[in-house]
Amino acid sequence: MAKRVHLLLSAFLLPLLMFAQESDGQGTTGTTIDERIQSVFEPVTAFVESVVFFTVPIGKFDIPFVIPWLIIGATVFTVYMGFINIRGFKHALDVVRGKFDDPDDQGEVSHFQALTAALSGTVGVGNIAGVAFAVALGGPGATFWMIIAGLLGMTSKFVECSLGLMYRDVHADGSVSGGPMYYLDRGLKEKGPGWAILGKILAGAFAIACVGGSLGGGNMVQINQATQQLTEVTGGVDSIFYERGWIFGVVMAITVGLIILGGIKSIAKVTDKVVPFMVGIYVVATLVVLGYHIADIPAAFGTILSGAFNADALYGGFIGVLIQGFRRAAFSNEAGIGSASIAHSAAKTDEPISEGIVALLEPFIDTVVICTMTALVIIITNYGGYGAETAFANKVSGTVGDITLTSAAFETVISWFPTVLSIAVILFALSTMISWSYYGLKAWTYLFGESRLNEAIYKLLFCVFVIIGSAISASAVFGFGDAMIFAMCFPNVAGLFILMPNVRRALQDYLHRVRTGEITRFE
């Protein structure tokens, strides 16, 4: 098994090493290392994007199938589970506050730590840069569809995280492995031999996509945006990090490496402090900007609502706005992607449904609250002074980065905020990377086996990609990460459709025991 890991690792890294060398051995070829690395990723990215984002005709539009796949899934789960995203909200708050915690339950982390670990994987640059991307291309109306996607996605999170606990693997040393790989494999196996084969295929496909997503969207995208913002506030072209982003990458790689060596317990100890802190910084700054423009907030919401159904919106009219909203929301909160269930599987509880109910808070916090606040800041400040048309043109041409647009919006009210935003973005990036390192590790060990050697290989590979991500600006790499994360939803949602009756039965039983007092509070 280890030999297979070594061969895979060599096959993946060898092209990068070759392209990092001079091609003729006698001088430069006129291309930078950045350009050579991009040339490696471009064909891979093009293939992955063509598979993941294949389109289906709806009316006169060609819609990426992944969008209706996630929308239909979230809608079906919400109705089938009796709108648990709404009626379970108060109970979720009680559980995450520890009112039902039993210290004798199996697991590695508390409900709150599992929530913050999962949130750290979703609350990231997608909330800052991703929202700017959606609003610049789709207009204010994209915000409405992000909110709808967040509300529906709450139930997708509930279903996948409940299953994560139902089918997790608790090892002899008390450590836990769980997530879609396990519930797709074991859950479908329970249905018979034919289902078992399908379960293996779906679990393997998910694990492969998860490893790719952890190295791309969960790593390189995060560190690249953090490096870009840090370079901007430390002098731009005069910054020590200008065209030397690898310096910052090395520092972050060492930091990430030290944290992830300790596993989920170490990660949770960091995220349960960093996540509330960084969210607090960002929310306070957002409230300052919105408070300054308080008289404009009603008009901003009016623009969002009218733009949501505007046939003349900037990017493809109504359908384009809907796509941008749902796509950015899915990338931000990862509902239906399945990643968060890997973190939640480690929670200390013998009640899978209780952790699923905790998990439904994630899309609400991530998308309904934080993404909406970011969008309001961008809209109210007239796109950071750029104006809607200019922001759209800049986004299409790539002359202004996603993070730059958000930074400019805050700067219109808080002149020094880009510096604070840099700190927030670095914390967002760090927390997202350490959570995704755990997701990728569990997918990696599912594929190649649980061993110290396999874990060490993956962690080293992850840290190397931190440095690569900070040193390059290859858009193809980020397209690859985006596509791989979305690829995770195909096997995951398919499995959720098959296994959702198991969850509904467990939910009905759980709520009955809560009402009758069989499940008691520990207060």
Residue 338 phi, psi dihedral angles, 5° rounding: 100, -10
Distance CA 30, CA 23 (A): 10
> What torsion do the CA atoms of 495, 498, 502, 508 make, to the nearest 10 degrees?
110
Buried b (16+ CB within 10 A) or exposed e, 122-136: bbbbbbbbbbbbbbb
Helix axes 131-138, 141-166, angle to 10 degrees: 140
pLDDT at residue 318 tops 60: no
Is the domain spanning 38-511 CATH 1.10.4160? The answer is yes
Distances (CA, A) of 59 to 9, 62, 123: 44, 8, 34
- Partners of 315 in beta bridges: none
pLDDT at residue 234 tops 70: yes
Task: Note whether 332 and 130 are within 8 A (CB).
Answer: yes
Name the most confidently modeled range: 1-5, 306-310, 345-349, 435-439.
Answer: 435-439
Provide the token pair at 169.
Answer: 């693997």
* Domain definitions of the chain by residue range: 38-511
pLDDT above 90 as % of the chain: 10
pLDDT at residue 496 tops 70: yes
Mean pLDDT of 127-153: 79
User: What is the per-residue pLDDT for 362?
Assistant: 83
Q: 199-221, pLDDT tens digit by residue?
A: 999 999 999 999 988 888 788 87
Of 73-77, 84-88, 325-329, where does mean pLDDT reach its minimum?
Answer: 325-329
User: What is the per-residue pLDDT for 70?
Assistant: 86
Instruction: Pick the closest to residue 205 from 14, 18, 48 (CA basis).
Output: 48
Strands 55-58 and 61-64: antiparallel
Distance CA 168, CA 176 (A): 7
User: What is the per-residue pLDDT for 9?
Assistant: 46
Q: How confident is the model at residue 413 (pLDDT cuts 50, 70, 90)?
A: confident
Mean pLDDT of 464-489: 75
Strands 55-58 and 169-170: unpaired
- Partners of 347 in beta bridges: 109
The pTM of this model reads 0.77
Provide the token pair at 32.
Answer: 């930078």
Higher-confidence position of 27 and 358? 358
C-alpha atoms less than 13 angstroms from C-alpha of 477 in its C-beta half-sphere: 28
Mean pLDDT of 363-376: 84
Tell me how long the chain is: 523
pLDDT at residue 491 tops 60: yes
Mean pLDDT of 1-6: 48
Q: How confident is the model at residue 76 (pLDDT cuts 50, 70, 90)?
A: very high
Helix locations, 334-451, DSSP H: 340-344, 352-359, 361-363, 372-380, 388-397, 402-411, 417-448
Residue 350 phi, psi dihedral angles, 5° rounding: -105, 10
User: What is the per-residue pLDDT for 232?
Assistant: 73
User: What is the per-residue pLDDT for 14?
Assistant: 44
CB atoms within 10 A of CB 62: 12
Q: 157-182, pLDDT tens digit by residue?
A: 899 999 988 888 877 776 777 889 99
CB atoms within 10 A of CB 356: 30
Distance CA 443, CA 214 (A): 10
Task: Note whether 473 and 212 are within 8 A (CB).
Answer: no
User: What is the per-residue pLDDT for 27?
Assistant: 45
Across the chain, mean pLDDT equals 76
pLDDT at residue 512 tops 80: yes
Mean pLDDT of 247-265: 77
